[in-house]
Amino acid sequence: MLIDYVGVKEINGSLIVIDGVKGVSNEEIVDIRLEDGTVKQGRVVQIEGERIVVQVFEGTRNISLVNAKTRLTGHPMEQALSPEIIGRVLDGAGRPIDGLGEIFPEKRANINGTPINPVSRIYPTNYINTGISTIDTLMTLIRGQKLPIFSGSGMKHNDLAVQIVRQARISGATEDNFCVVFAAMGVQKDVAEYFRKSFEESGVLSHVVMLLNLSNDPIIERTLTPRCALTIAEYLAFDLDMHVLVIMTDMTSYAEALREFSSSKGEIPGRKGYPGYLYSDLASLYERAGMIKGHDGSVTQIPILTMPNDDITHPIPDLTGYITEGQITLDRALQGQGYYPPVSVLPSLSRLMKDGIGEGFTRADHQPLANQLFASYAKVIDARSLASVIGEEELSPIDKKYMEFGKQFEERFVNQGFNENRDITESLDLGWELLSTLPRSELDRVDDELLDKYYRG
Amino acid sequence: MEKNVIYGINGPVITVKGPTEFKMMEMVHVGKENLVGEIIGINDEYTTVQVYEETTGLKPGDPITGTGNPMNVLLGPGIIDNIFDGIERPLKAIEEESGAFISRGSQVNSLDDQKIWNVTMKVKVGDKLKGGEIYATLPETAIIEHRLMVPPAISGEITEVKPDGGYKLFDTVAKIKDELGVEHDLTLCQKWPIRYSRPIEERLPTTVPLITGQRVMDTMFPIAKGGAAAIPGGFGTGKTMNQHQLAKWCDADIIVYVGCGERGNEMSQVLDEFSELIDPKSNRPMTDRTVLIANTSNMPVAAREASIYTGITLAEYYRDMGYDVAIMADSTSRWAEALREISGRLEEMPAEEGFPAYLPSRLAEFYERAGRVKTLSHDNGSVTIIGAVSPQGSDFSEPVTQNTKRFTRVFWALDKALAYARHYPAINWMDSYSEYFNDLDPWFNEHLGPKFVEYRNRISALLQEESSLMEIVKLIGSDVLPDDQKLVIETAKAIRVGFLQQNAFHAEDTYVPLEKQMKMMGVILHLYDRAREVIAKEIPISTILKLGLFDKLGKMKYDIPNNKLEMFDDYDKEIDKKIDEIL
């Protein structure tokens, strides 16, 4: 039943209204053919009898009330999937742009996915060694986790992501069953190029699927990019049993695209103009990480978001933090001092860490050591704020020790080279070495047995 | 009846054109796949339906059929040790039907109707029973006896009783004839609409504490059985961790854990952990007393709204059997957001921050379903509600936190600064409160002696004093304080590290009985009193600190096992001995 509906009733932002449409289903994809031959795609977002509202992915530029012919495709938005997709470069809507031709689909899947049954999930407990001291020791990344990087414009989140991809050692993963899905949303061309080059240099490029929606690409298409990426990731993980690391950058651009779409639809805004369903929408992406019983593969997500004005209470980082299993927060002051990676330790956290470390995974002293480092470093911050009032000279001897510990901790533990890959034992030992500069009685999170073994003060 | 068809679709909200015969809040089936929905608005032009599943692919013209009943749940044996979605569909059965990903329109029974239960009849022909009275019992798990009650609306005379034995869920085991002469079948199950609270005989005062084994909760901010508490906190402050600890250790008979719009991995963690964890009181896995309701954040938003009501209805059902039930709702903010989302789709006028104007009344309705009651079966039961709140931007002035504060009497405020320093549970002792002191202090006096309340008051006074001293310390450092004030700071540190901080992953420390909590307070205060004697003699505080007693108290939670409380006497003796030496 191929009927062309001629003309549109109303154009508003990225939305067009078409009247007299029969047999349309919710969320169906439509093709819009303009007089000059260009074809745009759109999605039905609202139906009222025979009047439908369509969201046009490529934007409504050039559409007039009379020049468009719309045709229903009969299916919701789908992603073409096949094992050959690995190594390809796709646009934001999942169509190849690397000039290597169409993907011959083995399977098509609805990009919205379906929720994983909580009963079918495997609780993730296998840690990923990233070779970065702060992450491995204090906020351990676990296979099947979603651990975002909270960053700000101008900070080194991209370098950190690249280093994680390059150094990550997933237990159970080999050359053949490890791959990366990289989704760029609203990032600049050179950032995307930086990632491509870095993947190439570290030899993983042949295991990478790239989806690029650059900053000058259609904004509405951006709302599809992470969905296409995750559909591909789920296919690779649960159909082909691979370990997939998904990097999505920048979630802030994604949320802004969502806001633009929402406001053009005339929806009631929530905080800072973002739609009230921002939480549910972000959750429908982040929750697609995990592992499933009966499958060997896994989906691990590292979304990157830039906090507007470095404000962690902004709706995007705030809602993200409520959904993801922890966060790696970057700090401008640390970066200013020349430390890389500028991981701000205290507000960072990995919720799944406690079950993936310790005896049998890393080392028995890992958790107590991490607790003690957190607690001691929190005291450093107290001592510093006191020093800023009364001057460092006036501090009590113990506070002075903390100041010194803090300096060493940032210089030697947080700070590490972009190409430096530290073994977990090395990181843990370094932690003990630093703690040993403090008096033994200050270490109240570790029991005597461990102190006897590791304390060298 | 005229056939009703879909007219408009907007996300999970569907409209039907023209006047219909649907009732407000009636449950309906939508489309060819029979998606579950509920009528939420009726006028002469449109009827509005909220659909509990994804609406992708629905078409105008697809049928909508009514069920004639409000949204209800099936109540009967098989609820415990089960995991449901927000509208009581068993997730394990859905997994068998559709695999690891949840498909739509699942038509599985809420409870297993093939399993045979071993029923013992408690009535005989001729007995007169009122609604809510018990006619039979059966062992649901090794520790929970399921008591079958006459549906509250029915009362009359028993006309037929089957012999004791094995029956399935829908088998009739007795018949009852009401005053009008109508005979009703009594099976092993009944239905109840989730948005209505189940009737009771009367409310009882909340005079018994819910003992959680968590020191800061039991001692500083106790909650009563039948009370309502809120745990607000930004992300990463440990809301979920606290809820898990409560679900594991609190002394309720039955736990209903509602994961409302939260993480899927968390639910699988609960499933794994609870089935491995052995309840020390019954020596059975925790799952033998637990019901899970999992509506993760990526499952349909409308079912998230319903999940809270489903949970509380199941809790009330077990309360009516005479059990103490605790329900953990994690998180009520997600539920409020679901209300906001649906309200937005209905184009209602928003109040604060886009939340609908009826948010406070919905919250009140929910928290009012907590309570300690005399049931219709003349037994005592209670429902305790512990709701997590996830304030946007960690700002406690936002509408959900503020309104929740109005309807709960315990407020366990989680603090980011404490969480950053890995002080868990990160319950801020200055911002939190409990309004149950007056109700519960007689119980503490009776069971633990008058010392308990006295200790608690002294401990909180010391913490209060420390907090004002810290204001000074922050400005000029602690060196300038006189020794008696330094002692307050040292003691408060011992309280914070040794008492308030509790390690959920430590075998001894994860649950601490009340007696030990009291003795811990006692020994800290004993040291404080003795140290004051030293300071009064103008001996410098550094002499006391050198003794290492404060450090020792900081570790007593690990050093003294829960079953060796006599060790506290040794601690007291050691303190006396060392202090006497100085004096």
A1 residue type, one letter: M
Chain A partners within 8 Å of B56 (Cβ)? 25-27, 76, 110, 112
Write down the pLDDT at residue A78. 92
In this predicted structure, the answer to whether residue B64 has a pLDDT above a threshold of 70 is yes
Q: Between β-strands B134-139 and B128-129, what pairing exists: parallel, antiparallel or unpaired?
A: unpaired
CB atoms B269 and A355 under 8 Å: yes
Could you read off the pLDDT of A91-134 as tens digits, one per residue? 999 999 988 989 999 999 999 888 999 999 999 988 899 999 99
Chain A partners within 8 Å of B91 (Cβ)? 117-119
Q: Minimal CA–CA distance to A307: which of A253, A387, A353, A245?
A: A253
Identify which has the larger pLDDT, A1 or B260.
Answer: B260
Q: Mean pLDDT across the stretch B540-555?
A: 90
Sheet order of strands, A127-129 included: A141-142, A127-129, A169-170
Dig out the tokens for B3 from the structure: 């056939």
* Interface check B103 vs A, CB under 8 A: yes
Signed CA dihedral, A220, A43, A108, A1: sign only: negative
**Residue A390: which of B297, B477, B558 has the nearest Cβ?**
B477
CATH-assigned architecture of domain A4-75: Beta Barrel (2.40)
* Interface check A194 vs B, CB under 8 A: no
Chain A partners within 8 Å of B268 (Cβ)? 118-119, 121-123
Tell me if B326 sits within 8 A of B250, measured CB to CB. Answer: yes
Q: Does domain A79-356 have CATH number 3.40.50.12240?
A: yes
CB atoms B421 and A378 under 8 Å: yes
Write down the pLDDT at residue B363. 94
Delimiting residues of CATH 2.40.30.20 domain(s) in chain A: 4-75
Quote ipTM for the complex. 0.87
Instruction: Report which secondary-structure segment, H or E, holds A397.
Output: helix A397-408
CB atoms B477 and A122 under 8 Å: no
**Residue A123: which of B103, B234, B268 has the nearest Cβ?**
B268
**Residue labelled with tokens 């800061």:** B216
* Interface check B144 vs A, CB under 8 A: no
Chain B partners within 8 Å of A112 (Cβ)? 54, 56
Tell me if A359 sits within 8 A of B505, measured CB to CB. Answer: no
Could you read off the pLDDT of B89-121 as tens digits, one per residue? 999 999 998 888 888 877 788 999 999 999 999
**A211 half-sphere exposure, CB direction, 13 A CA radius:** 29
Distance from CA of B178 to the nearest CA of A (A): 43
Write down the pLDDT at residue B2. 56
Average pLDDT over all residues of chain B: 91
CB atoms B475 and A389 under 8 Å: yes
Dig out the tokens for B165 from the structure: 């034995």
**Residue A120: which of B8, B95, B477 has the nearest Cβ?**
B95
CB atoms B101 and A114 under 8 Å: yes
B226: alpha, beta or left, given left = phi > 0 and alpha = psi -120 to 50? left
Could you read off the pLDDT of A27-49 as tens digits, one per residue? 899 999 998 889 999 999 999 98
C-alpha pair distances (Å), B193 with each of B77, B328, B359, B531:
18, 20, 21, 62
Mind giving me the DSSP string for A142-158? ETT-B--EEE-TTSTHH
In this predicted structure, the answer to whether residue A1 has a pLDDT above a threshold of 60 is no
d(CA B49, CA B243): 34
Mind giving me the DSSP string for A216-238? TS-TGGGGTHHHHHHHHHHIIII
What Rg value do the Cα atoms of chain B yield, rounded?
A: 27
Domains and CATH numbers, chain B: 4-69 (2.40.30.20), 112-189 (2.40.50.100), 202-206+222-419 (3.40.50.300), 449-582 (1.10.1140.10)
d(CA A262, CA A372): 46
Tell me if A110 sits within 8 A of A77, measured CB to CB. Answer: yes
Residue B263: closest C-alpha in chain A:
A323
Q: What is the DSSP letter of B3?
A: P
CA angle at B448 for the pair B446 and B449, rounded to the nearest 5°: 70
Tell me if B269 sits within 8 A of B433, measured CB to CB. Answer: no
Delimiting residues of CATH 3.40.50.12240 domain(s) in chain A: 79-356
Q: Could you tell me which residues are beta bridge partners of residue A109?
A: A79
Interface test mutation site (partner A, options B277, B298, B347, max chain A beta carbons within 10 A): B298
Write down the pLDDT at residue A137. 95
Find residues 543-582 of chain B whose CB sits inside 8 Å of chain A: 548, 551, 554-555, 558
Distance of CA A290 to the CA centre of its chain: 13
d(CA A185, CA A253): 6
d(CA B270, CA A123): 9
In this predicted structure, the answer to whether residue A377 has a pLDDT above a threshold of 60 is yes
Distance from CA of B79 to the nearest CA of A (A): 16
Mind giving me the DSSP string for B384-451? EEEEEE--GGG-TTSHHHHHHHHH-SEE--B-HHHHHTT-SS-B-TTT-EES-HHHHHHHHHHHH-TH
* Interface check B97 vs A, CB under 8 A: no
Could you read off the pLDDT of B121-144 as tens digits, one per residue? 999 999 999 999 999 999 999 899
**Residue B422: which of A275, A277, A375 has the nearest Cβ?**
A375
In this predicted structure, the answer to whether residue B1 has a pLDDT above a threshold of 60 is no
Chain A partners within 8 Å of B351 (Cβ)? none
Chain A partners within 8 Å of B393 (Cβ)? 313-315, 318
d(CA B306, CA B339): 10
Distance from CA of B420 to the nearest CA of A (A): 5
Could you read off the pLDDT of B425-479 as tens digits, one per residue? 999 999 999 999 999 999 999 999 999 999 999 999 999 999 999 998 888 878 8
Q: Count CB neighbours of B578 within 10 A.
A: 16
Tell me if B384 sits within 8 A of B324, measured CB to CB. Answer: yes
Question: By three-state DSSP, how is residue B302 classified?
Answer: helix
User: Rounded to the nearest 10 degrees, how much is the dihedral formed by the CA atoms of B309, B314, B320, B324?
Assistant: -100
Could you read off the pLDDT of B169-221 as tens digits, one per residue? 999 999 999 989 999 999 999 999 999 999 999 999 999 999 999 999 999 99
d(CA B269, CA B386): 20
Write down the pLDDT at residue B479. 81
Least confident interval from A2-6, A46-50, B518-522: A2-6
Dig out the tokens for A208 from the structure: 């990478």
